Amino acid sequence: WNQFPPGLRNVTRLRLLASIGAGGVVFMTPMVFHAIDFSASQVGSGLALSALVGTVVRLLSGALLDRGLSCSWPIRFTTILAVLADITLFRADSYGGFVVGEILLGSAAGLYWPAIELAVPLSCGAVPSGRGYALVRSSDALGFGIGALIGSLCAWLGTLRLIYGVEAICMI
């Protein structure tokens, strides 16, 4: 661990926390809204809309980063959007609320990924970027697994919507 530059270790910690929060939300959101009688097509269309919006925002975020925007700005704005999405999804009891939450979540992901990926080679220093990517992507995988386990625990306890609180805490 100490062989990696401090900046890369910070990026790794950030990605681990973000992935813990996302792990529960990604895997458990369909169950949350199926439990309140949303149809599979409603849940699927909300998730698809999130992915579509996220793709468009990724392209815009990447273009801004290519023009010299610091990686920290999209990541900071991601935090705001993700917490707003989590609050919206936690409270959503209608399809409209679900869609708004998913659009916010897709926008947050779209801002996050180009910036956090670019932060890796910028933080590697003398360490080859391949090793840096191996480190951060391992933390992504670990975080998603932990997040899914936390989401499963929330489901077992009957408090499935708590996944949105977990993600909000991880993002802050």
pLDDT tens, 146-169?
A: 999 999 999 999 999 999 999 999
Q: Name the band, by pLDDT with cuts 50, 70 and 90, for residue 93.
A: very high
Single out the residue of 89, 120, 96, 121 nearest to residue 22, CA to CA: 89
pTM: 0.92
d(CA 171, CA 155): 21
Token readout for 126 is 């003398």
Phi-psi category of 73—alpha, beta or left, where left has phi over 0 and alpha has psi -120 to 50? alpha
